[in-house]
Amino acid sequence: MKLAKVRLADGATHVVAVEGEAVRLLDLSQVEHCRTLADILHAADPPGLARFLIDPNAGQIRVGEVQFLAPIDRQEVWAAGVTYKRSQLARMEESAHGASHYDRVYSADRPELFFKATPNRVSGPNEPVRVRRDSQWSVPEPEFTLVINPAGKIVGNTIGNDMSARDIEGENPLYLPQAKLYSQCCALGPVVRLTDEALSPDETAIRIVIQRGGKDVFTGETKLSQMKRQLEDLAGWLLKENEFPNGAFLLTGTGVVPPDEFALRAEDQVHITIAGIGTLSNPVVMG
């Protein structure tokens, strides 16, 4: 089952169930203390509650008639890094002085985890993602993303774009928070696929297309099965000695990095497709 937040033509926002090419409104007023998508995601039985909340009086609305919003409420957004061989090699290339850190973290037991965004820094589908004015070499990172409830359970998956300033990170690993965390540094959406329907890692293709002036200037693809780490293991490390009273999103790292000569430009369009979830598209703004 897929859930989303949408804005309708009249400007009202709703939580919906997405069924193929249509959405169905959920009537959250039926349950006390259930007001947001996160309230459903954090319930004991998210798919059961969502099915109960489907408003029988509301018909189906075509997906083309609604605007999908980022499926986030008050959750923290975290990310894992260097979880695919491609990312390890790319980081070692970009970082003259810090290369060995990336080499070691790829095979270490403890993964790289970093704080990625607060909800106000997250863009939804078709909203801009940003390249920092002080970066000449930024790229999008297409990442399979976990939705984790306050009890620490993975309850859903979505698509994440971990926008990254490779030149800032490459200059000094201590600049990582500035390379990764700034206004519009992350996009999430368009839906949360609940984990009641399992995804097969070998069939979960993660694909990115970057367009410039209507033409594809970079395409790349990997599979979730190429990731070195297990999803539960990554979530387990995040939860060690940590509490998430509002839940968390965890981007699980990129397996696709454009060649070193590629840098995003203003007005590029980034499209990330993950099989079984959908496509997250965002225009790029600069400065």
138-152 b/e with 16+ CB inside 10 Å = b? bbbbbbbbbbbbeee
Identify the H or E element spanning 47.
Answer: helix 46-53
Question: Is the separation of the CB atoms in 258 and 220 below 8 Å?
Answer: yes
Sign of CA pseudo-dihedral 173, 177, 182, 186: positive
Kindly state whether residue 162 participates in binding Mg ion, applying the rule CB under 5 A.
yes
Among 145, 254, 281, 282, binds ligand DO4 (CB under 6 A): 254
Binding piece for ligand DO4, criterion CB under 6 A, among 17-25, 76-84, 147-155, 225-233: 76-84
Q: Is 138 in the site for Mg ion (CB under 5 A)?
A: no
Q: For ligand DO4, give the closer residue by CB, 52 or 237.
A: 237
Determine contact, residues 99/64, Cβ cutoff 8 Å.
no
Closest CA to 223 of 25, 65, 86, 125: 86
Options 171-179, 193-201, 236-244, 250-258: segment touching Mg ion (CB under 5 A): 250-258
Best CA proximity match to 207, nearest among 220, 189, 193: 220
CB nearest Mg ion: which residue? 162
Among 76, 112, 127, 268, indicate the residue that binds ligand DO4 (CB under 6 A).
Answer: 112
User: To the nearest whole angstrom, how small is the minimum distance from the Cβ of residue 80 to Mg ion?
Assistant: 8
Q: Per-residue x/- mask for ligand DO4, residues 26 to 65, rule CB under 6 A? A: ----------------------------------------
> By the 8 A CB rule, do 205 and 223 touch?
yes
Distances (CA, A) of 179 to 36, 117, 287: 31, 12, 14
Residue 173: count other Cβ atoms within 10 Å of its Cβ.
15
Q: Which of ligand DO4, Mg ion, none has residue 82 at its interface (CB below 5 to 8 Å by kind)?
A: ligand DO4
Which segment (132-140, 157-165, 198-206, 226-234) binds Mg ion by CB under 5 A?
157-165
The residue ranges that bind ligand DO4 (CB under 6 A) are 79, 81-82, 87, 91, 112, 141, 162, 164, 169, 253-254
Q: Which residues bind Mg ion (CB under 5 A)?
A: 141, 162, 254
